[in-house]
């Protein structure tokens, strides 16, 4: 298994992984095309040219500090429980530190809290949302 940066040829497979892992709401290609943006790091886990995992880190530059936001975390159902999700997140944490972020945050569903806790995250503040569409 290899973990590498997302490239344009991966888009269809990644969309498919997000749709099957979350919902058809993710079926809105193209993916964020701005892969050269240094504040976006998107990693994929690959076996035999097939994408079996994805996770992204967005560097948010605040007024006085930077923080990393982890999003779009998914591992193909057939490959779950093999440490792939953990490896993807750990690599993003390293990247977040390298980029000078003072913290790394993410939103989790209740059932995934133990997964993130095993990596070192703790439940912190409450998230609020107002959907624009």
Cβ–Cβ < 8 Å for 104, 66:
no
Q: Which is nearer to ligand COA, 3 or 67 (CB)?
A: 3
Show the binding pattern over residues 13-42: x = contacts ligand COA (CB under 6 A), - = does not: --------x---------------------
How far is 133 from 71, CA to CA, in rounded Å?
19
User: Closest distance between ligand COA and the C-beta of residue 113, in Å?
Assistant: 8
How far is 75 from 55, CA to CA, in rounded Å?
9
Alpha helices in the chain (DSSP H): 11-21, 84-98, 113-119
**Nearest residue (beta carbon) to ligand COA:** 85
Question: Interface with ligand COA by CB under 6 A: which residues?
Answer: 21, 73-75, 80-86, 108-109, 111-112, 114-115, 118
């Amino acid at each position: 298994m290899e973990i590498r940066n997302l490239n344009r040829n991966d888009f269809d497979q990644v969309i498919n992984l997000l749709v099957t892992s979350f919902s058809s709401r993710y079926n809105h290609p193209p993916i964020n095309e701005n892969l050269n943006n240094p504040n976006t790091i998107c990693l994929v886990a690959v076996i035999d040219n097939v994408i079996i995992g994805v996770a992204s880190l967005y560097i948010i530059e605040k007024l006085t500090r930077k923080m990393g936001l982890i999003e779009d975390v998914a591992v193909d159902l057939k490959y779950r429980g093999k440490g792939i999700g953990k490896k993807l997140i750990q690599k993003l944490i390293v990247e977040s530190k390298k980029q000078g972020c003072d913290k790394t945050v993410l939103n989790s569903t209740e059932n995934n809290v133990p997964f993130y806790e095993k990596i070192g995250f703790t439940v912190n503040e409450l998230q609020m949302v107002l959907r624009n569409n």
